[in-house]
Homo-oligomer: A and B are copies of this chain.
């Protein structure tokens, strides 16, 4: 299954090159700098011994995320959100998605009343930053939990699954895996899949950008996402084991 017409020359079901470097954020309890082609996201896990108000005295922990993009991560410089005085709707949407995705693989009772915050900051952007953020944040989270367990702060293992994300889309009429910016900006449809290593679906966000699509096309996209996340799960595990 190949498609000669992709701008990158990749086969329709081929991921970009993936690298995950752990420990980049020196002070963080766990961190991963993930590169998927030209997209580069620094994910850092911070552990705090308290939870938001709505969970106090619940015995349950919290996992949340914040997302940002350096002003010149993109082709033309964007406003700095801190200077503008607010996060865009897109930023908030993405950080909510990252948080939900990670909470899907965490047993919050086993975590206890602690908060783990995943900061996902895009250093270079070339499409697929939210998916890279989820995939990298999982590694940072796993490393932070590993450290807490090694220090005996946690007795059990709150990590109950492995999660990764990838984007698929329909470009020039063809379903393709892992779009870069050039491909994404002209795609007819765009879908982000957050999946688990055990075969579960955590989140689907599919949007028709230029033309609606049907059930069959959607099925192909989901199939591509399964192929892509299989490779990502392996890359995550390798990075965690090597850390």
- Asked whether, in the complex, the Cβ of A72 is within 8 Å of the Cβ of B207, the reply is no
- Asked whether, in the complex, the Cβ of A80 is within 8 Å of the Cβ of B119, the reply is yes
- Asked whether, in the complex, the Cβ of B92 is within 8 Å of the Cβ of A124, the reply is no
| Interface residues as binary, A86-105 with B (CB distance below 8 Å gives 1, 0 otherwise) | 11011111011000100010
When distances are taken between beta carbons in the complex, the residues of chain B under 8 Å from A73 are 25, 27
- Asked whether, in the complex, the Cβ of A71 is within 8 Å of the Cβ of B66, the reply is yes
- Asked whether, in the complex, the Cβ of A70 is within 8 Å of the Cβ of B25, the reply is yes
A51-59, A147-155, A208-216 - the one binding chain B: A208-216
- Asked whether, in the complex, the Cβ of B25 is within 8 Å of the Cβ of A77, the reply is no
- Asked whether, in the complex, the Cβ of B91 is within 8 Å of the Cβ of A93, the reply is no
Complex alpha-carbon distance, A81 and B38, angstroms:
26
A2-10, A12-20, A193-201, A232-240 - the one binding chain B: A193-201
When distances are taken between beta carbons in the complex, the residues of chain B under 8 Å from A191 are 204
When distances are taken between beta carbons in the complex, the residues of chain B under 8 Å from A222 are 215
When distances are taken between beta carbons in the complex, the residues of chain B under 8 Å from A80 are 66, 68, 82, 119
Other-chain residue from B85, B196, B201 in contact with A206 (beta carbon distance below 8 A): B201
A44: interface (CB < 8 Å): yes
Other-chain residue from B44, B82, B121, B203 in contact with A208 (beta carbon distance below 8 A): B203
By beta carbon, the residue of chain B nearest A222 is B215
Complex alpha-carbon distance, A91 and B38, angstroms:
29
When distances are taken between beta carbons in the complex, the residues of chain B under 8 Å from A85 are 85-86
Given contacts A72-B46, A77-B117, A86-B86, contact A123 B25 (CB under 8 A): yes
A74: interface (CB < 8 Å): yes
Complex alpha-carbon distance, A2 and B203, angstroms:
27
Q: Within A217-232, which residues are at the interface with B (CB < 8 Å)?
A: 218-219, 222
Other-chain residue from B31, B82, B121, B204 in contact with A218 (beta carbon distance below 8 A): B204
Given contacts A26-B38, A70-B119, 9 further A-B contacts (CB under 8 A): A25-B73, A25-B124, A66-B83, A90-B96, A92-B93, A201-B208, A201-B214, A203-B207, A204-B218
Interface residues, chain A, with chain B CB atoms under 8 Å away: 24-28, 31, 38, 42, 44, 46, 48, 66, 68, 70-77, 80-83, 85-87, 89-93, 95-96, 100, 104, 117, 119, 121, 123-125, 161, 191, 196, 198-208, 211-215, 218-219, 222
